Amino acid sequence: MTVDAHTARDAELVQLLTPEGERLEHPDYPLNLSDQQLRELYRDLVIVRALDLESVALTRRGELGLWPSLLGQEAAQIGSGRALGAADMVFPTYREHGVAYCRGLPWLDILKLFRGVNHAGWDPKEFGFHLYTIVIGSQTLHATGYAMGIQRDAHAIAEKGETAIGDAALAYFGDGATSQGDVNESFVWAAVYNAPLVFFCQNNQWAISEPLERQTRIPLYRRAQGFGFPGVRVDGNDVLACLAVTRRALDRARTGEGPSLIEAFTYRMGAHTTTDDPTRYRHSDELEAWKLKDPIARVKAYLSRTGLANAAFFEEVEAQVAEAVVELRAACLALPDPPPQAIFQHVYAAPHRLLEEEQAAYETYLAGFHD
């Protein structure tokens, strides 16, 4: 039986907002948001999509070396990102620009990485957002270790008779990463040690050019049961459902109930990165079907239908987006090139003889270009 067949009969998809913009209730995931909070979620979605599209455009103009677009996955990222607490730590892949936005990380810092003007991008401690990870799935092991550290710190504080403030870690990965050994090993460790960790899989249906049915015979969220912790599938194009489900999973982690797996069922509308052509491996009718589930259109429909937002609000958001895009483009083009010697910085904790010899040889080589 194919994954699609399982999906068709799967009645466990958590959804709080239909593609038509109708509000639903779910007994396990109640969500009460103010009118202002709903409008802000819409604003987040629109801004993030616009900045992402501008980043694609900058890449096409040769200003960035590469860009992994999040197009279509805005709700999964904004919903889960807005569920995080200030002291939580995120372990992303290389596509979580929307989560980075929620953590207050300047978009320009992400562009610096893909423009090649620095070697990492940002201070993870400052934003509670670890560095992007290119190696598929390895960040889940980092997150597990970090979560176990949170757990041990809490025990040490409790031994002093004090009450620890429960923090949690959240690890993002894609459906393709679930085929990796690192992810499965992290499931084992997190389960056995009851680590305060949420695994968040953005199942965007394609592992580069490999479809989901070549990766699994069952829905991905059901894998958690085999490791001994709960899994849930959420409509990844529904920002409200993603927010509610992630909040609950983080609460479980913080209160000592251990890890959870969230499978956000979504779709990558663009290419895997700007170096590939998705028309070579998927049909256009598939893309057109998913466009009907667009994560932004359904929130706009809900706000309009309920009168929570009017034309003036939508025009204000569009104006803000236009300004943000212009500012981002100008700031990107103004980024200075790093000094050539910067390649030797921050590689090792301390200098050593071989590094010094290599740096001296490189500087001699550069000096040869001077008249």
Q: Which residues are catalytic?
A: 268, 272, 281
- Report the 10 Å Cβ neighbour count for 31: 17
Q: Which amino acid is at 134?
A: I
Query: Taking Cα atoms as reference points, which of 145, 188, 193 lies closest to residue 169?
Result: 145
Give Cα separations from 217 to 1, 228, 261, 318 (angstroms): 7, 19, 17, 43
> Helices in the chain by DSSP H: which ranges?
3-9, 35-60, 74-81, 97-102, 107-115, 124-127, 138-159, 181-192, 223-227, 239-254, 284-291, 295-306, 311-333, 353-367
Separation between Cα atoms, residue 142 and residue 109, nearest integer Å: 22
Residue 287 tokens, joined: 């893309």
Separation between Cα atoms, residue 296 and residue 16, nearest integer Å: 14
173 by DSSP, 3-state: which? Answer: strand
169-174/197-203 β-pairing: parallel
Query: Taking Cα atoms as reference points, which of 171, 167, 169, 196 lies closest to residue 182?
Result: 171
